[in-house]
């Protein structure tokens, strides 16, 4: 069994490679005992040996035992007001604090439903759930801690559910999805993924020192600036050795992840909804469910940690109907035409795209209302038939006749003040009373806490999809939330706005994806501003960044790869010089950076010559051949970008793709040698240009990379496994 009770109220959760132990101790505090390699059935409570630490208060139940303090002990879900002065997982707006004690447990086959929130799916067997029942008998608030154990994927999925069982309302000021106390007795590093628009998910590693480090967003989205996923790891951990513990929040709104190194050298991790500006009113008998967070541990380095997260996302998070479905090679009209297009422009792009063996044309912003710039028309989703010189469906039929499927860009959550929708419903936006609105990109945010707004958007977009043969939707969101006030909610519910906003977005996504299951939805928020596991529940791919410069993309995709597999990354070949950086690169370079993703084009095909068109045809054939490998293979980071080259490997049982960029070619230098990983040491692999090799030789001696020339030089080597063939012997 994945979950069993051992020892004295000790709960043991085992996955394929790890063991997690919890104990309800003598004072009914839910203590954390162990998260690491399997222990052979040993209860790990013997490690909890604490001195009397000065200024560490003891709970009343401990009497004169000054060695028992919640300020020093490892706990599963620490609360405020208990004498624990470290960061907490839960708090009430109540002078009495919150003291949750163990009252019982359940072990469930499968997992309970999580209504209204994205979650790790249970659509094939293999999950068990431990539910720990906790209660504070003074405030009469209860809390159920959920531990969903996915043995196959080495994952433990955490969440909490609060209920007010008193006769008066209470206010929940903090409700984390997980808390985890880690005692390693050695220094600990923290890896986070930071950045900004056009520079998302930059890998950042630092040594924890006594105090608190936070990765957080208050923007109403998971944000370009921080990603809701982080790693705790040993100081000597590499890609292939050492321990690493990853935590990923399945949520797309304002979040907070804090890591604290305490006075005894222990580390506490707390992750969940950002408590800044958050407070949730619980009326009598009302409940509140937190989002989920996924924990995975590796004792074989960062690479193994990433592989486990990749497989979990592929198997249990993205919509099941897209797990094995090939994705189209697309061309997006944005960088080709921006707002300046008519029917002829679109049909010319379609004709040229079809000639280059592209599958899908995506009509980006500007097809609706008075939308000829980003200053007006957003929210008026009626087709601009004057601009398109006819109906949208008639345009789609022309595009289909050219041999392409048709996709469209939408931004449901936003509105311009210069729009019919805003003029009719000025109360449908988030704005502070008595103040002018905070604008972003000259647009306001629709109030997704209001069911009328969500219903209106569902009617608009379900009509659009029902009336037109659209196979792909790019769902964009181009600003952060600032105003935290909804005219729909009473004053005592205003601190709930940001979370209720996300519940409204999830509700709309759920209704549309259920109503149109064959439409491929791609997430986007100015590129990667909402690149998170919450959105992946509805959108199997997300536009990775608005920066399509291949050099910059290697850094962005490197950081992204620690949690998210390449098949979730929207990655395209764009124009040269690049529209974001002005850098000039070859088509081969741009394709090398874009290929470990969903692949497509962001350029004007009318600017290409015949040689470039033929090269694109060849690249598309190669990508379709490699897509099953890219979408289902094992992804290995072979280098770090700061080493002067970005190389990765994707391997399955039959093929190996080695790919990337060499940033600068050195003169009079030996060819670079790179060791591959994850191969069958006894197998023989063939590269048409270089010969045959054993898997063992490629992992120990390495592969000689092709000679390169210039800056951002592309590397692409494909090796095939050879059946019953000896490797070439050295001369």
List the catalytic residues.
532, 612
The sign of the torsion formed by the CA atoms of 163, 165, 169, 174 equals negative
Instruction: Tell me how far apart the alpha carbons of residues 420 and 570 are, in angstroms, rounded to a whole number.
Output: 33
DSSP state letters, 237-250: --SSSB-EEEEEEE
Instruction: Tell me how far apart the alpha carbons of residues 145 and 140 are, in angstroms, rounded to a whole number.
Output: 16
Q: What is the DSSP letter of 723?
A: T
Closest CA to 162 of 90, 70, 86, 75: 90
The sign of the torsion formed by the CA atoms of 236, 240, 241, 243 equals positive
Element (H, E) at 34: strand 30-36
Q: In 517-609, which ranges are continuous DSSP H helix?
A: 533-536, 550-560, 587-594
Instruction: Tell me how far apart the alpha carbons of residues 92 and 381 are, in angstroms, rounded to a whole number.
Output: 43
Helix H, strand E, coil C: the string for 396-465 is HHHHHHCCCEEEEEECCCEECCCCHHHHHCHHHECCCCCCCCCCECCEEEECCCCHHHHHHHHHHHHHHH
Element (H, E) at 155: strand 155-164
Strands (E), 44-154: 90-92, 101-109, 127-136, 141-150
Contact 502, 251 (CB under 8 A): yes
Q: How many Å separate Cα 380 from the centre of its chain? A: 30
Instruction: Tell me how far apart the alpha carbons of residues 499 and 255 are, in angstroms, rounded to a whole number.
Output: 10
| Residues facing residue 660 across a β-bridge | 647, 715
Tokens of 438: 């905070």
Is the omega angle on the peptide bond into residue 103 within 30 degrees of 0, that is, cis? no
Instruction: Tell me how far apart the alpha carbons of residues 231 and 124 are, in angstroms, rounded to a whole number.
Output: 28
Burial (CB < 10 A; 0-12, 13-18, 19+), residue 607, is exposed
Element (H, E) at 620: helix 610-632
Contact 699, 681 (CB under 8 A): yes
Q: How many Å separate Cα 472 from the centre of its chain? A: 21
First to last CA, the chain: 55
Instruction: Tell me how far apart the alpha carbons of residues 141 and 130 are, in angstroms, rounded to a whole number.
Output: 20
Tokens of 561: 């790869």
Closest CA to 202 of 596, 531, 661: 531
């Amino acid at each position: 069994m994945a979950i069993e009770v051992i020892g004295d109220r000790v709960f043991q959760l085992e996955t394929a490679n790890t063991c997690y132990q919890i104990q309800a101790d003598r004072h009914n505090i839910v203590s954390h005992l162990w998260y690491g390699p399997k222990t052979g059935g040993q209860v790990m409570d013997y490690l909890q040996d604490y001195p009397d630490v000065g200024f560490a208060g003891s709970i009343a139940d401990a009497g004169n035992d000054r060695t028992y303090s919640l300020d020093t002990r490892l706990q599963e879900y620490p609360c405020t007001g208990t004498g624990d002065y470290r960061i907490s997982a839960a708090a009430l707006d109540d002078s009495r604090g919150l003291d949750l004690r163990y009252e019982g447990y359940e072990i469930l086959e499968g997992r309970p439903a999580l209504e209204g929130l994205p979650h790790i799916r249970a659509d094939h067997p293999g999950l068990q759930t431990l539910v720990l029942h906790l209660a504070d008998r003074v405030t009469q608030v209860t809390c159920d801690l959920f531990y969903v154990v996915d043995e196959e994927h080495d994952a433990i999925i955490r969440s909490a559910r609060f209920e007010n069982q008193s006769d008066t309302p209470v206010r929940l000021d903090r409700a984390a999805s997980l808390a985890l106390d880690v005692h390693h007795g050695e220094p600990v590093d923290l890896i986070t993924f930071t950045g900004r628009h056009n520079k998302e998910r930059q890998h950042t590693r630092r040594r924890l020192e006594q105090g608190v480090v936070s990765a957080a967003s208050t923007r109403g989205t998971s944000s370009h600036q921080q990603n809701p996923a982080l790693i705790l790891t040993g100081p000597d951990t590499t890609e292939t050795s050492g321990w690493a513990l990853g935590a990923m929040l399945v949520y797309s709104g304002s979040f907070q992840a804090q890591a604290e190194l305490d006075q005894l050298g222990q580390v506490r991790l707390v992750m969940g909804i950002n408590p800044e500006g958050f407070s949730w009113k619980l009326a009598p008998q009302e409940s509140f469910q937190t989002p989920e967070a996924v924990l995975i541990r590796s004792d074989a380095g960062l690479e193994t940690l990433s592989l486990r997260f990749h497989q979990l996302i592929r198997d249990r998070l993205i919509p099941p109907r897209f797990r094995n479905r090939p994705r189209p090679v697309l061309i997006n009209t944005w960088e080709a035409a921006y707002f300046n297009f008519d029917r002829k422009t679109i049909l010319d792009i379609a004709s040229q795209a079809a000639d280059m063996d592209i599958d899908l044309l995506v009509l980006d912003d500007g097809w609706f209302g008075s939308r000829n710039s980003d200053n007006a028309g957003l929210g008026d989703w009626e087709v601009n038939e004057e601009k398109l010189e006819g109906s949208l469906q008639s345009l789609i039929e022309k595009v289909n006749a050219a041999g392409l499927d048709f996709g469209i860009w939408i931004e449901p959550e936003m509105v311009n003040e210069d729009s019919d929708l805003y003029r009719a419903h000025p109360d449908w936006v988030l704005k502070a009373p008595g103040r002018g609105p905070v604008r972003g990109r000259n647009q306001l945010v629709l109030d997704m806490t209001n069911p009328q707004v969500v219903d209106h958007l569902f009617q608009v977009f379900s009509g659009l999809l029902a009336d037109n043969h659209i196979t792909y939707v790019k769902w964009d969101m181009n600003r952060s939330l600032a105003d935290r006030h909804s005219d729909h909610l009473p004053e005592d519910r205003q601190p709930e706005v940001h979370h209720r906003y996300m519940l409204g977005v999830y509700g709309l996504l759920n209704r549309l994806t259920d109503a149109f299951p064959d439409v491929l939805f791609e997430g986007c928020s100015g590129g990667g501003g909402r690149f998170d596991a919450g959105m992946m529940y509805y959108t199997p791919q997300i536009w990775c960044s608005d920066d399509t410069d291949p050099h910059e993309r290697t850094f962005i995709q490197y950081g992204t790869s620690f949690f998210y597999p390449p098949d979730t990354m929207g990655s395209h070949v764009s124009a040269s010089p690049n529209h974001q950086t002005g850098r000039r690169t070859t088509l081969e370079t741009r394709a090398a950076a874009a290929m470990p993703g969903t692949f497509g084009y962001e350029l004007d095909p009318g600017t290409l010559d015949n040689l470039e068109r033929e090269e694109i045809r060849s690249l598309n054939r190669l990508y379709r051949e490699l897509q099953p490998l890219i979408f289902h293979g094992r992804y290995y980071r072979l280098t770090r970008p700061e080493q002067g080259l970005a190389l990765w490997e994707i391997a399955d049982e039959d093929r190996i793709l080695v790919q990337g960029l060499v940033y600068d070619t050195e003169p009079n230098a030996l060819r670079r040698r790179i060791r591959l990983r994850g191969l069958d040491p006894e197998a023989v692999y063939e590269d048409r240009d270089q010969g045959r090799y054993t898997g063992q030789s490629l992992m120990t001696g390495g592969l000689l990379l092709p000679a390169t020339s210039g800056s951002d030089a592309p590397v692409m080597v494909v090796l095939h496994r050879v059946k019953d063939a000896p490797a070439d012997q050295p001369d």
